[in-house]
Amino acid sequence: MSELEALCQEIRQCRKCRLALGRTLAVPGEGPEDAEIMFIGEAPGFHEDQQGRPFVGAAGQFLEKLLASINLSRQDVYITNVVKCRPPGNRDPQPEEIAACRPYLERQIEIIKPKLIVTLGRFSMQLAFSGVSISRVHGTPKKIGDIVYFPMFHPAAALHQPRFRSMIEQDMLKIPQILAELQSIEAEEPDEPPPQQLSLF
């Protein structure tokens, strides 16, 4: 069993916070172990809790459409959430629950080593941006260490609100350019790299 599979098994059995009490299935996440891009949502909803898979309901269908707009499918990326178990009635995850679950997300990031982390909604945005509003920073990449974080609105919020919908669609279309820029930086690395200013981040 791979390290990531072992971690997912551990998550499926976890009882470290009260969300374990109300869940049907924990939802560790899914996608290739060497994914370059990781999408991080908020928490499983009804369908995710039933199936044990992330983003399989209406928000997930919209996410798949957004991925298709940049020629990606869900098999190309790793998809997970800030908390791995469904909050009762889809309420917001509470700070203690987020804190209890946080080490799992950190270990997933350590194992997968994504180049780009796309945060969906305001909870996962806290990984890289705190004290700012999502309306202000969505669509703005930020490099921290080896990882570029790219905050987007949550697809569930965008699904029924035309204003958010076009913003999330526009933000998604920026991803290929960010990836291309990351790849061009990598291609230059074997040589003695000149001190370089990143234009995007």
Query: Nearest approach, Cβ of 98 to ligand SF4 (angstroms)?
Result: 9
65 counts as binding ligand SF4 under rule CB under 6 A = no
* Residue 20 binds ligand SF4, judged by CB under 6 A: yes
**159 vs 185, beta carbon nearer ligand URA:** 159
* Least Å from the CB of residue 107 to ligand SF4: 12
CA distance 84 to 106: 13
19 touches, from ligand SF4, ligand URA, none (C-beta below 5 to 8 Å by class):
ligand SF4
What span, in angstroms and rounded, lies between the C-alpha atoms of 185 and 120?
A: 26
Binding-residue pattern over the window 85 to 124 for ligand URA, x denoting contact by CB under 6 A: ----------------------------------------
Residue of 28, 54, 87, 151 interacting with ligand URA (CB under 6 A): 54
Q: Which residue ranges make up the site for ligand SF4 (CB under 6 A)?
A: 11, 14-17, 19-20, 26, 83-85, 97, 100-101
